[in-house]
Chain A
Protein backbone atom coordinates (compact mmCIF):
# COMPACT_ATOMS: atom_id res chain seq x y z
CA UNK A 1 0.00 0.00 0.00
CA UNK A 2 1.26 3.40 -0.98
CA UNK A 3 1.90 5.90 1.78
CA UNK A 4 -0.78 8.52 1.95
CA UNK A 5 1.31 11.61 1.33
CA UNK A 6 -1.49 13.93 2.44
CA UNK A 7 -2.27 12.26 5.74
CA UNK A 8 -0.49 14.02 8.60
CA UNK A 9 0.96 12.29 11.63
CA UNK A 10 -0.28 13.52 14.97
CA UNK A 11 2.07 15.77 16.93
CA UNK A 12 1.67 17.06 20.46
CA UNK A 13 2.88 20.44 21.62
CA UNK A 14 5.05 19.81 24.69
CA UNK A 15 6.66 23.21 25.00
CA UNK A 16 5.96 26.79 23.94
CA UNK A 17 8.52 29.55 24.23
CA UNK A 18 7.54 33.14 23.56
CA UNK A 19 10.48 34.45 21.55
CA UNK A 20 9.14 37.89 20.75
CA UNK A 21 5.94 39.81 21.45
CA UNK A 22 3.80 42.17 19.39
CA UNK A 23 1.50 41.94 16.41
CA UNK A 24 3.91 39.62 14.65
CA UNK A 25 5.05 37.70 17.68
CA UNK A 26 7.21 34.63 17.33
CA UNK A 27 6.73 31.51 19.42
CA UNK A 28 8.81 28.36 19.37
CA UNK A 29 6.88 25.11 19.65
CA UNK A 30 8.42 21.88 20.81
CA UNK A 31 6.50 18.99 19.22
CA UNK A 32 6.60 15.29 20.07
CA UNK A 33 5.02 12.38 18.26
CA UNK A 34 2.77 10.61 20.80
CA UNK A 35 2.18 7.68 18.43
CA UNK A 36 5.90 7.01 18.08
CA UNK A 37 5.80 7.66 14.34
CA UNK A 38 8.21 10.58 14.22
CA UNK A 39 10.65 11.06 11.37
CA UNK A 40 14.28 12.04 10.92
CA UNK A 41 15.14 15.21 9.07
CA UNK A 42 18.10 17.04 7.61
CA UNK A 43 19.26 20.61 8.15
CA UNK A 44 17.14 22.97 6.07
CA UNK A 45 14.11 20.74 5.63
CA UNK A 46 10.56 21.82 6.36
CA UNK A 47 7.38 20.19 7.60
CA UNK A 48 3.74 20.85 6.77
CA UNK A 49 2.01 21.64 10.05
CA UNK A 50 -1.77 21.41 10.54
CA UNK A 51 -4.25 22.95 12.86
CA UNK A 52 -7.27 20.82 12.04
CA UNK A 53 -10.11 23.06 10.92
CA UNK A 54 -7.75 25.88 10.00
CA UNK A 55 -5.44 24.27 7.48
CA UNK A 56 -1.77 23.70 6.86
CA UNK A 57 1.39 25.82 6.68
CA UNK A 58 4.90 24.90 5.62
CA UNK A 59 7.30 25.67 8.45
CA UNK A 60 11.08 25.19 8.67
CA UNK A 61 12.23 22.61 11.17
CA UNK A 62 14.25 24.73 13.59
CA UNK A 63 15.71 21.95 15.73
CA UNK A 64 18.89 20.09 14.90
CA UNK A 65 18.63 16.69 13.23
CA UNK A 66 20.79 15.46 16.11
CA UNK A 67 17.81 15.98 18.43
CA UNK A 68 15.66 12.91 17.94
CA UNK A 69 13.06 13.19 20.71
CA UNK A 70 11.20 16.21 19.40
CA UNK A 71 11.04 18.77 16.62
CA UNK A 72 11.04 22.49 17.12
CA UNK A 73 9.28 25.12 15.02
CA UNK A 74 9.54 28.89 15.38
CA UNK A 75 6.36 30.42 14.04
CA UNK A 76 5.54 34.07 13.45
CA UNK A 77 1.91 35.02 13.91
CA UNK A 78 0.82 36.02 10.42
CA UNK A 79 -2.30 34.31 9.03
CA UNK A 80 -5.03 31.82 9.86
CA UNK A 81 -2.90 28.77 10.65
CA UNK A 82 -0.04 30.57 12.40
CA UNK A 83 -2.54 32.53 14.51
CA UNK A 84 -4.11 29.21 15.53
CA UNK A 85 -0.66 28.06 16.61
CA UNK A 86 -0.24 31.20 18.67
CA UNK A 87 -3.54 30.44 20.40
CA UNK A 88 -2.45 26.85 21.14
CA UNK A 89 -1.50 25.53 24.56
CA UNK A 90 0.87 22.89 25.83
CA UNK A 91 -0.77 19.51 25.32
CA UNK A 92 -2.63 20.55 22.15
CA UNK A 93 -2.44 18.28 19.14
CA UNK A 94 -1.36 19.28 15.67
CA UNK A 95 -0.90 17.53 12.34
CA UNK A 96 2.56 17.16 10.87
CA UNK A 97 3.79 15.72 7.59
CA UNK A 98 7.21 15.73 6.06
CA UNK A 99 10.10 16.25 6.09
CA UNK A 100 10.18 18.09 2.79
CA UNK A 101 12.87 19.56 0.62
CA UNK A 102 16.62 19.26 0.26
CA UNK A 103 19.25 20.16 2.82
CA UNK A 104 22.30 22.29 3.55
CA UNK A 105 25.31 20.25 2.38
CA UNK A 106 27.04 20.46 5.75
CA UNK A 107 29.23 17.43 5.05
CA UNK A 108 30.75 19.23 2.05
CA UNK A 109 31.81 22.10 4.28
CA UNK A 110 34.19 20.20 6.57
CA UNK A 111 37.27 22.21 7.46
CA UNK A 112 35.79 25.51 6.33
CA UNK A 113 34.81 28.68 8.16
CA UNK A 114 31.05 29.15 8.43
CA UNK A 115 29.45 32.58 8.40
CA UNK A 116 25.76 32.61 9.24
CA UNK A 117 23.70 35.73 8.55
CA UNK A 118 20.12 35.75 9.81
CA UNK A 119 17.41 38.33 10.17
CA UNK A 120 14.09 38.22 12.00
CA UNK A 121 12.30 34.87 11.93
CA UNK A 122 14.68 33.95 9.10
CA UNK A 123 17.02 32.68 11.78
CA UNK A 124 14.83 29.59 12.25
CA UNK A 125 15.68 27.78 8.95
CA UNK A 126 19.44 28.17 9.53
CA UNK A 127 19.32 27.48 13.27
CA UNK A 128 19.55 23.67 12.87
CA UNK A 129 22.66 24.17 10.73
CA UNK A 130 24.21 26.36 13.43
CA UNK A 131 23.30 23.82 16.13
CA UNK A 132 24.67 20.91 14.13
CA UNK A 133 27.87 22.75 13.22
CA UNK A 134 28.45 23.60 16.87
CA UNK A 135 27.77 20.01 17.91
CA UNK A 136 30.39 18.91 15.39
CA UNK A 137 32.66 21.81 16.30
CA UNK A 138 35.94 20.09 15.38
CA UNK A 139 34.72 19.58 11.78
CA UNK A 140 34.72 23.29 11.02
CA UNK A 141 36.95 26.35 11.20
CA UNK A 142 35.75 29.63 12.63
CA UNK A 143 31.99 29.92 13.11
CA UNK A 144 30.43 33.38 13.07
CA UNK A 145 26.75 34.10 13.53
CA UNK A 146 25.33 37.47 12.49
CA UNK A 147 21.78 38.08 13.58
CA UNK A 148 19.67 41.19 13.49
CA UNK A 149 16.22 42.14 14.68
CA UNK A 150 14.20 45.34 14.68
CA UNK A 151 14.70 45.89 18.41
CA UNK A 152 16.47 44.02 21.17
CA UNK A 153 13.14 42.59 22.31
CA UNK A 154 12.65 41.08 18.83
CA UNK A 155 15.74 38.88 19.17
CA UNK A 156 14.77 35.22 19.12
CA UNK A 157 16.65 32.37 20.81
CA UNK A 158 18.17 34.92 23.20
CA UNK A 159 19.18 32.38 25.84
CA UNK A 160 20.64 30.08 23.18
CA UNK A 161 22.80 32.89 21.85
CA UNK A 162 24.45 33.14 25.26
CA UNK A 163 25.35 29.43 25.07
CA UNK A 164 26.43 29.79 21.46
CA UNK A 165 29.09 32.34 22.40
CA UNK A 166 31.17 29.48 23.84
CA UNK A 167 31.68 27.96 20.39
CA UNK A 168 31.01 30.74 17.91
CA UNK A 169 31.50 34.44 17.39
CA UNK A 170 28.09 36.08 17.78
CA UNK A 171 27.39 39.46 16.15
CA UNK A 172 23.98 40.81 17.08
CA UNK A 173 22.41 43.95 15.69
CA UNK A 174 19.27 46.01 16.11
CA UNK A 175 17.86 48.22 13.38
CA UNK A 176 17.63 51.49 15.32
CA UNK A 177 19.50 53.01 18.29
CA UNK A 178 18.68 51.74 21.78
CA UNK A 179 20.08 52.95 25.04
CA UNK A 180 22.55 50.50 26.53
CA UNK A 181 22.58 48.18 23.47
CA UNK A 182 26.01 46.55 23.45
CA UNK A 183 25.88 45.23 19.87
CA UNK A 184 25.81 46.85 16.47
CA UNK A 185 23.15 49.38 15.53
CA UNK A 186 22.00 49.21 11.93
CA UNK A 187 20.79 46.68 9.41
CA UNK A 188 22.25 43.20 9.08
CA UNK A 189 24.00 43.78 5.72
CA UNK A 190 25.76 46.82 7.20
CA UNK A 191 26.90 44.86 10.25
CA UNK A 192 28.26 42.23 7.89
CA UNK A 193 30.32 44.85 6.04
CA UNK A 194 31.46 46.35 9.32
CA UNK A 195 32.87 43.05 10.58
CA UNK A 196 33.97 41.96 7.06
CA UNK A 197 34.49 38.20 7.53
CA UNK A 198 37.09 36.75 5.21
CA UNK A 199 35.87 34.70 2.25
CA UNK A 200 38.99 32.53 2.36
CA UNK A 201 37.90 28.92 2.76
CA UNK A 202 34.51 30.13 4.04
CA UNK A 203 30.85 29.38 3.37
CA UNK A 204 28.16 31.99 4.03
CA UNK A 205 24.62 30.90 4.90
CA UNK A 206 21.88 33.50 4.99
CA UNK A 207 18.16 33.69 5.57
CA UNK A 208 15.85 36.56 6.43
CA UNK A 209 13.42 38.92 4.78
CA UNK A 210 13.85 38.93 0.96
CA UNK A 211 15.23 42.48 0.97
CA UNK A 212 17.82 41.55 3.60
CA UNK A 213 18.92 38.48 1.66
CA UNK A 214 19.35 40.61 -1.43
CA UNK A 215 21.68 43.09 0.25
CA UNK A 216 23.52 40.41 2.23
CA UNK A 217 24.34 38.61 -1.01
CA UNK A 218 25.51 41.86 -2.63
CA UNK A 219 27.73 42.56 0.35
CA UNK A 220 29.10 39.02 0.49
CA UNK A 221 30.06 39.39 -3.16
CA UNK A 222 31.72 42.73 -2.34
CA UNK A 223 33.70 40.94 0.40
CA UNK A 224 34.91 38.46 -2.19
CA UNK A 225 32.60 35.50 -1.59
CA UNK A 226 32.07 33.52 -4.81
CA UNK A 227 28.55 32.48 -5.86
CA UNK A 228 29.34 28.89 -4.86
CA UNK A 229 30.28 30.02 -1.34
CA UNK A 230 26.89 31.62 -0.65
CA UNK A 231 23.88 29.58 0.45
CA UNK A 232 20.36 30.67 1.21
CA UNK A 233 17.00 29.08 1.78
CA UNK A 234 13.91 30.43 0.10
CA UNK A 235 10.26 29.81 0.62
CA UNK A 236 7.20 30.37 -1.47
CA UNK A 237 3.59 29.71 -0.68
CA UNK A 238 3.09 25.95 -0.53
CA UNK A 239 0.06 23.70 -0.25
CA UNK A 240 1.08 20.16 -1.12
CA UNK A 241 4.78 20.04 -0.25
CA UNK A 242 5.25 17.26 -2.76
CA UNK A 243 5.82 19.06 -6.07
CA UNK A 244 2.31 18.86 -7.48
CA UNK A 245 0.03 21.72 -6.50
CA UNK A 246 1.87 24.15 -8.75
CA UNK A 247 2.40 27.33 -6.75
CA UNK A 248 5.88 27.33 -5.16
CA UNK A 249 7.83 27.01 -8.39
CA UNK A 250 10.75 29.22 -9.27
CA UNK A 251 11.09 28.50 -12.96
CA UNK A 252 11.23 24.75 -13.43
CA UNK A 253 11.91 24.00 -9.76
CA UNK A 254 9.27 23.29 -7.17
CA UNK A 255 10.89 24.79 -4.10
CA UNK A 256 9.18 22.25 -1.81
CA UNK A 257 11.10 19.44 -3.52
CA UNK A 258 14.19 20.91 -5.24
CA UNK A 259 14.67 23.63 -2.59
CA UNK A 260 14.43 25.27 -0.22
CA UNK A 261 18.25 25.35 0.02
CA UNK A 262 20.15 26.85 -2.90
CA UNK A 263 23.63 28.11 -3.46
CA UNK A 264 23.60 31.53 -5.03
CA UNK A 265 25.27 29.93 -8.08
CA UNK A 266 22.19 27.72 -8.48
CA UNK A 267 19.61 30.31 -7.56
CA UNK A 268 20.84 32.98 -9.92
CA UNK A 269 20.39 30.56 -12.85
CA UNK A 270 16.65 30.45 -12.10
CA UNK A 271 14.15 33.21 -12.89
CA UNK A 272 13.93 35.84 -10.13
CA UNK A 273 10.45 34.80 -9.08
CA UNK A 274 10.45 34.50 -5.30
Chain B
Protein backbone atom coordinates (compact mmCIF):
# COMPACT_ATOMS: atom_id res chain seq x y z
CA UNK B 1 0.00 0.00 0.00
CA UNK B 2 1.38 3.41 -0.98
CA UNK B 3 -0.24 6.69 0.02
CA UNK B 4 0.41 10.40 0.34
CA UNK B 5 0.11 12.12 3.69
CA UNK B 6 0.25 15.88 4.10
CA UNK B 7 2.32 17.33 6.96
CA UNK B 8 -0.91 18.51 8.65
CA UNK B 9 -2.60 15.14 8.36
CA UNK B 10 0.31 13.32 10.00
CA UNK B 11 -1.26 14.46 13.31
CA UNK B 12 -4.60 13.08 12.26
CA UNK B 13 -3.06 9.67 11.55
CA UNK B 14 -1.23 9.66 14.89
CA UNK B 15 -4.46 10.54 16.69
CA UNK B 16 -6.22 7.65 14.93
CA UNK B 17 -3.72 5.29 16.62
CA UNK B 18 -5.24 6.18 19.98
CA UNK B 19 -5.29 2.64 21.36
CA UNK B 20 -1.55 2.32 20.78
CA UNK B 21 1.41 3.80 22.56
CA UNK B 22 3.04 6.09 20.04
CA UNK B 23 6.68 7.10 20.20
CA UNK B 24 8.63 9.50 18.01
CA UNK B 25 11.94 11.33 18.16
CA UNK B 26 11.90 14.40 20.43
CA UNK B 27 14.67 16.93 20.95
CA UNK B 28 15.67 17.27 24.59
CA UNK B 29 18.96 17.83 26.41
CA UNK B 30 20.68 18.55 23.09
CA UNK B 31 19.87 15.20 21.54
CA UNK B 32 17.09 13.51 19.64
CA UNK B 33 15.73 10.47 21.33
CA UNK B 34 12.50 8.49 21.24
CA UNK B 35 9.81 9.84 23.53
CA UNK B 36 6.15 9.12 24.08
CA UNK B 37 3.78 11.11 21.85
CA UNK B 38 0.53 11.84 23.67
CA UNK B 39 -1.20 13.63 20.81
CA UNK B 40 -0.63 13.97 17.09
CA UNK B 41 0.12 17.67 17.55
CA UNK B 42 3.32 16.75 19.41
CA UNK B 43 4.93 14.80 16.60
CA UNK B 44 7.98 16.29 14.90
CA UNK B 45 9.80 14.32 12.22
CA UNK B 46 12.53 16.86 11.53
CA UNK B 47 15.06 14.81 13.46
CA UNK B 48 18.48 13.67 12.39
CA UNK B 49 19.01 10.27 14.03
CA UNK B 50 18.12 9.42 17.59
CA UNK B 51 20.99 8.97 20.03
CA UNK B 52 19.56 5.64 21.25
CA UNK B 53 18.50 2.99 18.78
CA UNK B 54 15.08 1.45 18.35
CA UNK B 55 16.28 -1.86 19.84
CA UNK B 56 15.26 -0.76 23.32
CA UNK B 57 11.57 -1.12 22.43
CA UNK B 58 12.04 -4.90 22.29
CA UNK B 59 15.12 -5.17 24.49
CA UNK B 60 14.93 -2.61 27.31
CA UNK B 61 17.99 -1.64 29.35
CA UNK B 62 16.61 -3.40 32.40
CA UNK B 63 13.80 -5.90 32.69
CA UNK B 64 12.64 -8.27 35.37
CA UNK B 65 12.44 -11.94 34.35
CA UNK B 66 10.64 -13.11 37.48
CA UNK B 67 10.16 -12.41 41.15
CA UNK B 68 11.25 -14.93 43.74
CA UNK B 69 10.03 -15.33 47.28
CA UNK B 70 9.63 -18.14 49.75
CA UNK B 71 6.28 -19.55 50.84
CA UNK B 72 6.45 -22.13 53.64
CA UNK B 73 10.16 -22.46 52.95
CA UNK B 74 9.66 -23.30 49.28
CA UNK B 75 10.75 -20.88 46.55
CA UNK B 76 7.88 -19.46 44.52
CA UNK B 77 8.74 -17.89 41.19
CA UNK B 78 6.39 -15.44 39.49
CA UNK B 79 7.35 -14.70 35.89
CA UNK B 80 6.89 -11.11 34.82
CA UNK B 81 6.39 -11.49 31.08
CA UNK B 82 5.59 -8.10 29.60
CA UNK B 83 2.16 -7.51 28.11
CA UNK B 84 2.57 -4.14 26.44
CA UNK B 85 -0.05 -2.24 24.49
CA UNK B 86 0.53 -2.19 20.75
CA UNK B 87 3.36 0.27 20.24
CA UNK B 88 4.01 2.34 17.13
CA UNK B 89 7.39 4.02 16.75
CA UNK B 90 7.67 6.83 14.22
CA UNK B 91 10.80 8.28 12.71
CA UNK B 92 12.87 5.09 12.72
CA UNK B 93 15.85 5.57 10.43
CA UNK B 94 16.47 2.71 7.95
CA UNK B 95 19.75 1.74 9.63
CA UNK B 96 17.87 1.09 12.86
CA UNK B 97 15.13 -0.67 10.93
CA UNK B 98 17.70 -3.07 9.48
CA UNK B 99 19.04 -3.67 12.97
CA UNK B 100 15.80 -5.26 14.13
CA UNK B 101 15.79 -8.40 11.94
CA UNK B 102 19.35 -8.98 13.13
CA UNK B 103 18.17 -8.76 16.73
CA UNK B 104 15.20 -10.97 15.87
CA UNK B 105 17.63 -13.63 14.68
CA UNK B 106 19.55 -13.54 17.96
CA UNK B 107 16.43 -13.71 20.12
CA UNK B 108 14.92 -16.44 17.96
CA UNK B 109 17.67 -18.89 17.09
CA UNK B 110 17.70 -22.20 18.95
CA UNK B 111 15.76 -20.82 21.90
CA UNK B 112 12.97 -18.25 21.56
CA UNK B 113 13.29 -15.41 24.04
CA UNK B 114 9.75 -14.84 25.42
CA UNK B 115 10.52 -11.42 26.92
CA UNK B 116 11.90 -10.01 23.69
CA UNK B 117 9.06 -11.42 21.60
CA UNK B 118 6.31 -10.25 23.95
CA UNK B 119 7.42 -6.70 23.16
CA UNK B 120 8.54 -7.25 19.59
CA UNK B 121 5.25 -8.76 18.49
CA UNK B 122 3.42 -5.63 19.63
CA UNK B 123 5.82 -3.30 17.85
CA UNK B 124 5.14 -1.46 14.59
CA UNK B 125 8.13 0.39 13.17
CA UNK B 126 7.40 3.41 11.01
CA UNK B 127 10.58 4.35 9.18
CA UNK B 128 11.60 7.66 7.75
CA UNK B 129 13.97 7.61 4.77
CA UNK B 130 17.07 9.77 5.10
CA UNK B 131 17.06 12.40 2.37
CA UNK B 132 20.65 13.20 3.26
CA UNK B 133 23.17 11.62 5.65
CA UNK B 134 22.72 12.88 9.21
CA UNK B 135 26.30 12.49 10.17
CA UNK B 136 29.67 12.36 8.41
CA UNK B 137 29.93 8.84 9.84
CA UNK B 138 26.91 7.32 8.09
CA UNK B 139 27.79 4.23 6.06
CA UNK B 140 24.54 2.31 5.53
CA UNK B 141 25.29 1.81 1.84
CA UNK B 142 28.67 0.29 2.65
CA UNK B 143 26.98 -2.54 4.60
CA UNK B 144 24.26 -3.46 2.15
CA UNK B 145 21.64 -0.92 3.23
CA UNK B 146 20.37 2.30 1.78
CA UNK B 147 18.92 5.59 3.03
CA UNK B 148 15.47 4.27 2.11
CA UNK B 149 15.92 0.57 2.93
CA UNK B 150 12.67 -1.10 3.95
CA UNK B 151 14.19 -4.15 5.68
CA UNK B 152 12.92 -4.44 9.22
CA UNK B 153 10.42 -1.60 8.87
CA UNK B 154 6.66 -2.02 8.78
CA UNK B 155 6.14 1.30 7.04
CA UNK B 156 8.58 3.52 5.14
CA UNK B 157 7.83 7.24 4.99
CA UNK B 158 9.67 9.57 2.66
CA UNK B 159 9.67 13.31 3.30
CA UNK B 160 8.68 15.17 0.13
CA UNK B 161 8.73 18.62 1.74
CA UNK B 162 5.08 19.55 2.22
CA UNK B 163 3.95 15.94 2.31
CA UNK B 164 5.11 12.38 2.96
CA UNK B 165 5.05 9.36 0.74
CA UNK B 166 3.97 6.46 2.98
CA UNK B 167 4.52 2.84 2.01
CA UNK B 168 3.09 -0.06 3.98
CA UNK B 169 5.85 -2.67 3.87
CA UNK B 170 4.35 -5.41 6.05
CA UNK B 171 0.79 -6.48 6.85
CA UNK B 172 1.25 -4.89 10.27
CA UNK B 173 2.25 -1.63 8.60
CA UNK B 174 -0.69 -1.68 6.21
CA UNK B 175 -3.00 -2.25 9.15
CA UNK B 176 -1.60 0.80 10.95
CA UNK B 177 -2.15 2.86 7.81
CA UNK B 178 -5.71 1.63 7.47
CA UNK B 179 -6.43 2.83 10.99
CA UNK B 180 -5.88 6.39 9.77
CA UNK B 181 -7.19 5.86 6.28
CA UNK B 182 -9.05 9.19 6.14
CA UNK B 183 -5.78 11.05 6.54
CA UNK B 184 -4.22 9.61 3.42
CA UNK B 185 -4.49 10.60 -0.23
CA UNK B 186 -3.78 8.61 -3.35
CA UNK B 187 -0.32 8.70 -4.90
CA UNK B 188 -0.21 10.57 -8.21
CA UNK B 189 2.29 9.87 -10.98
CA UNK B 190 4.02 13.11 -10.05
CA UNK B 191 4.29 11.98 -6.40
CA UNK B 192 5.74 8.67 -7.53
CA UNK B 193 8.31 10.37 -9.71
CA UNK B 194 9.27 12.65 -6.89
CA UNK B 195 9.73 9.78 -4.42
CA UNK B 196 12.01 8.05 -6.87
CA UNK B 197 13.97 11.25 -7.38
CA UNK B 198 14.33 11.85 -3.64
CA UNK B 199 15.49 8.27 -3.11
CA UNK B 200 17.98 8.46 -5.97
CA UNK B 201 19.37 11.73 -4.61
CA UNK B 202 19.63 10.27 -1.12
CA UNK B 203 21.71 7.40 -2.49
CA UNK B 204 24.00 9.75 -4.37
CA UNK B 205 25.31 11.49 -1.25
CA UNK B 206 28.77 10.36 -0.39
CA UNK B 207 29.11 8.06 2.59
CA UNK B 208 32.13 6.52 4.23
CA UNK B 209 33.28 3.61 2.07
CA UNK B 210 34.16 0.23 3.53
CA UNK B 211 35.41 -1.95 0.69
CA UNK B 212 34.55 -5.56 -0.04
CA UNK B 213 32.79 -7.16 2.93
CA UNK B 214 33.99 -10.71 2.14
CA UNK B 215 37.56 -9.47 2.02
CA UNK B 216 37.03 -7.69 5.35
CA UNK B 217 35.76 -10.91 6.97
CA UNK B 218 38.79 -12.80 5.66
CA UNK B 219 41.18 -10.10 6.84
CA UNK B 220 39.66 -10.24 10.33
CA UNK B 221 39.98 -14.03 10.40
CA UNK B 222 43.64 -13.82 9.47
CA UNK B 223 44.43 -11.03 11.93
CA UNK B 224 43.32 -12.85 15.09
CA UNK B 225 46.84 -13.00 16.50
CA UNK B 226 47.92 -9.66 15.08
CA UNK B 227 49.41 -7.06 17.45
CA UNK B 228 47.32 -4.54 15.53
CA UNK B 229 44.33 -5.04 17.83
CA UNK B 230 46.22 -4.10 20.98
CA UNK B 231 47.73 -1.19 19.12
CA UNK B 232 44.37 0.13 17.93
CA UNK B 233 42.79 -0.30 21.38
CA UNK B 234 45.55 1.46 23.30
CA UNK B 235 43.46 4.56 23.89
CA UNK B 236 40.15 2.73 24.46
CA UNK B 237 38.77 3.57 27.90
CA UNK B 238 36.42 0.60 27.84
CA UNK B 239 33.30 2.71 28.43
CA UNK B 240 31.21 0.57 26.10
CA UNK B 241 29.20 3.42 24.60
CA UNK B 242 29.86 1.90 21.14
CA UNK B 243 27.76 -1.12 22.00
CA UNK B 244 25.10 0.52 24.15
CA UNK B 245 24.12 2.85 21.31
CA UNK B 246 24.51 0.20 18.61
CA UNK B 247 21.22 -0.91 17.01
CA UNK B 248 22.40 -4.53 16.85
CA UNK B 249 24.48 -5.07 20.00
CA UNK B 250 22.46 -7.28 22.30
CA UNK B 251 24.79 -8.65 24.97
CA UNK B 252 23.24 -8.84 28.39
CA UNK B 253 23.76 -9.79 31.98
CA UNK B 254 21.41 -11.62 34.36
CA UNK B 255 21.56 -10.92 38.08
CA UNK B 256 19.51 -11.41 41.21
CA UNK B 257 18.45 -8.23 42.98
CA UNK B 258 17.31 -8.79 46.55
CA UNK B 259 14.43 -6.54 47.59
CA UNK B 260 13.97 -7.77 51.14
CA UNK B 261 17.08 -9.27 52.73
CA UNK B 262 15.03 -10.62 55.63
CA UNK B 263 12.59 -12.67 53.58
CA UNK B 264 14.98 -13.22 50.68
CA UNK B 265 12.41 -11.79 48.30
CA UNK B 266 13.85 -10.41 45.10
CA UNK B 267 13.94 -10.26 41.33
CA UNK B 268 15.99 -11.86 38.62
CA UNK B 269 16.87 -9.05 36.27
CA UNK B 270 18.28 -8.76 32.76
CA UNK B 271 20.31 -5.66 31.97
CA UNK B 272 22.34 -4.60 28.97
CA UNK B 273 25.96 -5.68 29.23
CA UNK B 274 28.98 -5.03 27.17
CA UNK B 275 31.81 -6.97 25.55
CA UNK B 276 34.16 -4.05 26.24
CA UNK B 277 34.10 -4.66 29.99
CA UNK B 278 36.89 -6.84 31.46
CA UNK B 279 34.59 -8.82 33.76
CA UNK B 280 32.23 -9.66 30.91
CA UNK B 281 34.17 -12.83 30.18
CA UNK B 282 36.23 -13.26 33.34
CA UNK B 283 35.90 -16.69 34.94
CA UNK B 284 35.45 -16.89 38.70
CA UNK B 285 39.00 -18.23 38.86
CA UNK B 286 40.27 -14.93 37.46
CA UNK B 287 41.13 -16.51 34.11
CA UNK B 288 39.94 -14.22 31.32
CA UNK B 289 39.75 -15.29 27.66
CA UNK B 290 39.49 -11.62 26.66
CA UNK B 291 41.55 -10.00 29.36
CA UNK B 292 42.91 -7.00 27.48
CA UNK B 293 41.46 -4.07 25.53
CA UNK B 294 42.82 -5.34 22.22
CA UNK B 295 41.04 -8.67 22.47
CA UNK B 296 37.82 -6.87 23.38
CA UNK B 297 38.02 -4.49 20.41
CA UNK B 298 38.75 -7.54 18.26
CA UNK B 299 35.66 -9.26 19.65
CA UNK B 300 33.35 -6.31 18.89
CA UNK B 301 34.61 -5.96 15.34
CA UNK B 302 34.87 -9.72 14.69
CA UNK B 303 31.35 -10.33 15.97
CA UNK B 304 29.92 -7.76 13.57
CA UNK B 305 31.97 -8.46 10.47
CA UNK B 306 33.03 -12.12 10.77
CA UNK B 307 31.25 -14.31 13.36
CA UNK B 308 27.73 -13.02 12.66
CA UNK B 309 28.42 -13.40 8.94
CA UNK B 310 29.58 -17.00 9.49
CA UNK B 311 26.45 -17.80 11.51
CA UNK B 312 23.80 -15.71 9.76
CA UNK B 313 25.19 -14.69 6.35
CA UNK B 314 24.96 -10.97 7.02
CA UNK B 315 26.91 -8.29 8.87
CA UNK B 316 25.78 -7.37 12.34
CA UNK B 317 26.29 -3.69 11.52
CA UNK B 318 23.91 -1.43 9.64
CA UNK B 319 26.15 1.60 9.26
CA UNK B 320 24.42 4.06 11.59
CA UNK B 321 27.80 5.45 12.63
CA UNK B 322 26.86 6.02 16.28
CA UNK B 323 29.83 4.04 17.60
CA UNK B 324 32.16 6.36 15.70
CA UNK B 325 30.41 9.64 16.45
CA UNK B 326 29.87 9.00 20.15
CA UNK B 327 33.18 7.32 21.04
CA UNK B 328 34.83 9.66 23.56
CA UNK B 329 38.33 8.74 22.38
CA UNK B 330 37.76 8.60 18.64
CA UNK B 331 37.88 4.86 17.94
CA UNK B 332 36.50 4.56 14.43
CA UNK B 333 35.29 1.14 13.28
CA UNK B 334 35.83 2.03 9.64
CA UNK B 335 39.42 3.09 10.29
CA UNK B 336 39.88 -0.12 12.30
CA UNK B 337 38.58 -2.24 9.43
CA UNK B 338 40.79 -0.35 6.98
CA UNK B 339 43.89 -1.07 9.04
CA UNK B 340 42.96 -4.73 9.47
CA UNK B 341 42.39 -4.96 5.72
CA UNK B 342 45.80 -3.47 4.98
CA UNK B 343 47.68 -5.66 7.45
User: Which residues of chain A have a CB within 8 Å of any CB of chain B?
Assistant: 2-8, 10, 50, 52-56, 78-79, 82, 93, 95, 210, 235-237, 239-240, 242-252, 257, 271, 273-274
- Known contacts: A247-B281, A273-B295. The answer to whether A239 contacts B253 by CB under 8 A is yes
Residues of A within 8 A of B295 (CB): 273
Which residues of chain B have a CB within 8 Å of any CB of chain A?
A: 65-66, 68, 73-75, 77, 79, 81, 106-107, 109-115, 117, 224, 250-256, 258, 264, 266, 268, 270, 273, 275, 280-285, 287, 289-290, 295, 299, 302-303, 306-307, 310-311
By a CB distance below 8 angstroms, the chain B residues around A239 are 252-254, 273
State the CA gap A237–B284 with chains docked (Å): 8
**Contact between chains at A6 and B253 (CB < 8 Å):** no
Contact indicator A247/B65 (Cβ below 8 Å): no
Of B77, B253, B256, B280, the residue contacting A54 (CB under 8 A) is B256
- A selection of 13 A-B contacts at a CB cut-off of 8 Å is A8-B77, A10-B75, A10-B77, A52-B264, A54-B256, A239-B252, A239-B254, A240-B254, A242-B113, A244-B113, A244-B250, A245-B254, A247-B281
A242 touches B65 (CB 8 A): no
Q: A52-B68, A52-B256 are in contact. Are A245 and B311 (CB under 8 A)?
A: no
* B110 and A249 contacting across the interface, CB-CB below 8 Å: no
- Report which of B115, B270, B281, B306 forms a contact with A237, defined as CB distance below 8 A: B281
Contact A6:B66 (CB < 8 A) given known A53-B256, A246-B252: yes
Which residue of B114, B224, B284 contacts A4 across the interface (Cβ within 8 Å)? B114
Contact residues in A for B268 (Cβ distance below 8 Å): 6, 50, 52
The A interface is mostly helix, strand or loop, or mixed, namely loop
CA distance A170 to B111 in the complex (A): 40
**Chain A residues within 8 Å of B311, by CB:** 252
Residues of B within 8 A of A236 (CB): 281, 283, 289
Measured in the bound complex, the distance between the Cα atoms of B302 and A273 in whole Å is 13
The docked-state distance in angstroms from the alpha carbon of A55 to that of B73 is: 18
Cβ distance B257 to chain A, nearest Cβ, rounded Å = 9
Q: Is the CB of A6 within 8 A of B256?
A: no
Q: B268 to chain A: closest CB distance in Å?
A: 7
Chain B residues lying within 8 Å of A242, measured Cβ to Cβ, are 110-111, 113
> Looking at the complex, which one of B74, B224, B264 makes contact with A53 (CB distance below 8 Å)?
B264
Contact partner of B79 (CB less than 8 A), chosen from A7, A54, A82, A245, is A7
